[in-house]
Amino acid sequence: MRILITAGPTREYLDDVRYLSNASSGRMGYALAAEAVSRGHHVVLVSGPVELSPPKGCEVHFVQTTEEMRIACEQSFAVCDGVIAAAAVCDYKPLQRVVGKMSKTGGPITIDLIETDDVLAELGRKKNGRWIVGFALEATNSRENALQKLRAKNCDVVVLNGPSAIGAANNSVELIDDTGEPIESWNGPKETVASELLNWIECRW
């Protein structure tokens, strides 16, 4: 199969040196890419800024902002069989980006934020028979929120994990389908979770 995989965080810049982001290490997405390559799949990896080396043998597109990730994913998705969206995308960005570097004023400042592009929803709208595996990081009402994400973004299944997954070597996940209930659960090193998820994908598609 030809598989699109997203990994890592995105950054939304306040000025030329400061940005909003999160603590995603990219390990889950990179583990998935390495496992898929080892099985002979053609992998297109769209990665935000991480301190990891991409697996040898995959096609890599490095991005920083959510808009850049959306554009790279839309260009690649058209020739892929499916996508595993493991990236931790920023949900908000500054309404205006300051040119240069903001200086201290001695007082508080207010920054207006707007929602970023919804990368996964855009892919879901262009699904056209391809399969979509989303990731949902939830702290409360986890399964309910994962089901809402599955439906809103036209995913086939969603991998549900919690905040402890961010930056960690291990992960504990549930695979949620359109019933809102877990059909599989895996835990351990992210490489193990990646292997189990690829096993399931290969059996399903």
pLDDT tens digits along 100-154: 998 888 899 899 999 999 999 999 999 999 999 999 999 899 999 999 999 999 9
Q: pLDDT at position 96, please?
A: 93
Q: Each residue of 161-181: pLDDT tens digit?
A: 999 998 899 999 999 999 999
**Dist. CA 200–CA 112, nearest whole Å:** 42
Residue 84 has pLDDT above 90, yes or no: yes
Condensed to tens digits (0 to 9), the pLDDT of residues 3-23 reads: 999 999 999 999 999 999 999
SS3 content of the chain, % helix, strand, coil (to 5): 30, 30, 40
Say yes or no to pLDDT of 97 above 90.
yes
For the question of residue 22 being annotated catalytic, the response is: yes
Q: What is the CA radius of gyration of the chain?
A: 17
Mean pLDDT, the chain, whole residue set? 96
Q: Domains of the chain (ranges plus CATH)?
A: 2-204 (3.40.50.10300)
Which residues are bridge partners to 85 per DSSP? 6, 134
- pLDDT (tens digit per residue) in 27-64: 999 999 999 999 999 999 999 999 999 999 999 999 99
Q: Is 1 exposed, middle or buried (0-12, 13-18, 19+ CB in 10 A)?
A: middle
- DSSP string computed for 52-92: SPPPTTSEEEE--SHHHHHHHHHHHHTT-SEEEE--B--SE
Q: What is the DSSP string of 150-170?
A: HHHTT-SEEEEE-GGGTT-SE
Residue 94 is encoded by which pair of tokens?
Answer: 């500054």
pLDDT of residue 167: 87
Pairwise CA distance, residues 22 & 8, whole Å: 9
Distance CA 199, CA 179 (A): 21
